């Protein structure tokens, strides 16, 4: 029962993050190297399982910490994470 609830939470968070990032299911599937958007739809509906690697890629593409997908509300944590990502990119630019 707990696993089903977690799968639903992860799926709902994938959908929310994807939409907020302006990424279609088709584009996300393409970025993950998947054919078609059926797998994304299944994940978002809490059907099937997603690998940690795929979830990490989605987190990166949607600019969210991976913990977000497990139900962390993350208002302040999400802002902090986004700031950390901007600082990381700035450091990379300065090192070039």
- Give the residue extent of every domain in the chain: 2-95
86's tokens: 């901007």
pLDDT given at position 86: 72
d(CA 43, CA 17): 13
Return the SS3 of 24.
Answer: coil
The residue assigned the tokens 């907020």 is 20
pLDDT given at position 43: 94
Which class is domain 2-95?
Answer: mainly alpha
Return the SS3 of 13.
Answer: helix
pLDDT along the chain (96 residues), means of 10: 76 95 95 89 91 93 88 62 72 80
| pTM, 2 dp | 0.72
Instruction: Give the side-chain half-sphere CA count within 13 A for 72.
Output: 13
pLDDT given at position 79: 64
């Amino acid at each position: 029962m707990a696993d089903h609830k977690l799968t639903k939470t992860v799926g709902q968070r994938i959908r929310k993050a994807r939409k907020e990032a302006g990424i279609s299911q088709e584009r996300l599937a393409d970025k993950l190297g998947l054919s078609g958007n059926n797998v994304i739809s299944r994940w978002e509906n809490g059907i099937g399982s997603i690998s940690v690697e795929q979830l990490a890629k989605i987190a990166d593409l949607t600019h969210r910490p991976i913990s977000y997908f497990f139900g962390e509300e993350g208002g302040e944590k999400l802002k902090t994470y986004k700031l950390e990502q901007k600082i990381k990119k700035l450091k990379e630019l300065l090192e070039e």
